[in-house]
Amino acid sequence: MRIGIDCRTILNPSAGEKAGIAHYTYHLVKALLRLNRADEFMLFFDHRAKNIYRDFLEPNTVIRFFTYSEYKKYLPYLYSHILAASNLTAEKLDIYHSPANVVPLGYKGKYVVTIHDLAIYRDPGIFPSRQGFSIKYLVPKSLNRARKVIAVSESTKKDVLDFFKIPDERVQVIYEGVDHQRFNQETDPDATREYLRQKYRIKKSFLLFVGTLEPRKNLIRLLEAVYLLSKQDPQFLKQYQLVLAGSPGWLYKEIYEEVKSRHLESCVVFTGYLPAEDVPKFYATAESFVYPSLYEGFGLPILEAFSAGVPVVTSNTSALAEVSGGAAILVDPLDIDGLARAVHKTLRDLKLREDLKARGRKRASEFSWEKCAQETMELYRQVNTQS
């Protein structure tokens, strides 16, 4: 088979990647190349990735760059849907895989598309409004023409079926993986804490959140829960900090304003986007990982925390309950009191902490990029046999 994969989201693997789709694409492609030496993989990049493609050079890979990609900002439709489709068609692919929700409108070949998250259809109000063309036309068109749709969770599959009325048999759940070697490793706790103190000014034990600072991550309520804990437990602010690790996203200033209005400046640390090498250090030394998102299509950070052996508090909504699989404390993300109580338990109940650590590691062991690649490869073979 000649399998084409859109790798344009992969821009900076050494920095850890800034988007979940880029992370998925990078690890899936690397796992596919380890798994399959027989079929040909044609990997499509754009001009921004001139030095990245070398990470994927194997005897059975062919690297292609979409033509005129540097002019996309001037003619976005022409590039994204006409020139890109022409490039794909010229390669006579048996299968094309778009890991990023949409496919060039002009492409007529067999293709597979991965859907990560349809939260914008569930709750448009927690997203910027400038995505109308994509959500109203590009995504529906891409899904309706796909030979197979990969959903990264049963929750996301349900969303696909609810919103697009695609036959059940055309949508297959293939879970993402987690890099166990990266997150489940022996470290020197004292040296790691000193490193974080010097670089990030983290001076106490800490609660950790990892993700983009945006409304759907529900960080305002997390801050309210931390404020509540500080009032209920006089020792809380003396012992703990809250680390919000991630890039500022849409409406991020509201989060900073909440910190100021609650007088939590000494308690809350904003790290900005973390370099890849620092992410495991945070998981390894966190007292608790808190992920109260309003909606997620998968929820990879909770698996990373599980793999690192950190007690997890997360939401009982969307894919988070599914992926956590009974290994986390689940809370209603709108219930500030409940969130505060759950966090307090992970800090004070030592027996519960050890139980959560053990259950988390066991749950994380059920996910791997090798398994994801094997199931994706089997799906490619199914599509290739279709007329």
- CATH code assigned to 2-177+368-385: 3.40.50.2000
Average pLDDT over residues 125-148: 85
- Cα dihedral across residues 382, 109, 166, 101: positive or negative: positive
For the chain, what is the mean pLDDT? Answer: 92
Question: What pLDDT is attached to residue 134?
Answer: 83
Question: What pLDDT is attached to residue 259?
Answer: 97
Sequence-ordered list of residues with C-beta below 8 angstroms from that of 351, at least 6 positions apart, any chain: none
Question: What pLDDT is attached to residue 50?
Answer: 74
Summarize pLDDT for 66-100 with one digit per residue, the tens. 887 676 665 676 677 888 999 999 999 999 999 99
Q: Could you give the 3-state DSSP secondary structure of residue 252?
A: coil
Domain spans of the chain, in order of start: 2-177+368-385, 180-364
Min mean pLDDT across 46-50, 178-182, 197-201 is at 46-50
The rounded radius of gyration (Å) of the Cα atoms in the chain is 22
Summarize pLDDT for 294-308 with one digit per residue, the tens. 999 999 999 999 999
**pLDDT value at 14 more than 60:** no
Summarize pLDDT for 223-236 with one digit per residue, the tens. 999 999 999 988 89
Please tell me which of 18-27, 170-179, 184-193, 272-281 the model is most confident about, judged by mean pLDDT: 170-179
Contact of 245 with 320, CB cutoff 8 Å: no
Q: Per-residue confidence at 11, pLDDT binned at 50, 70, 90?
A: confident
Helical H segments across the chain, by residue range: 20-35, 76-77, 84-90, 119-122, 132-133, 139-145, 154-164, 180-183, 189-200, 219-232, 236-239, 253-261, 279-285, 300-308, 318-324, 336-348, 350-364, 369-385
Sequence-ordered list of residues with C-beta below 8 angstroms from that of 124, at least 6 positions apart, any chain: none
Say whether 180-364 and 2-177+368-385 share the same fold: yes
**pLDDT value at 342 more than 90:** yes
Contact of 79 with 104, CB cutoff 8 Å: no
**pLDDT value at 334 more than 60:** yes
Q: How many CB atoms lie within 10 A of CB 379?
A: 19
Q: Could you give the 3-state DSSP secondary structure of residue 289?
A: strand
- H or E element at residue 61: strand 61-65
Q: Per-residue confidence at 281, pLDDT binned at 50, 70, 90?
A: very high
Min mean pLDDT across 97-101, 121-125, 140-144 is at 121-125
Question: What pLDDT is attached to residue 185?
Answer: 80
Q: How many CB atoms lie within 10 A of CB 244?
A: 25
Pick the CATH number of 180-364 from 3.40.640.10, 3.90.226.10, 3.40.50.2000, 3.30.450.20: 3.40.50.2000
Going across the sheet that includes 61-65, the strands are 61-65, 40-45, 2-6, 95-98, 111-115, 148-151, 171-173
Question: What pLDDT is attached to residue 47?
Answer: 77
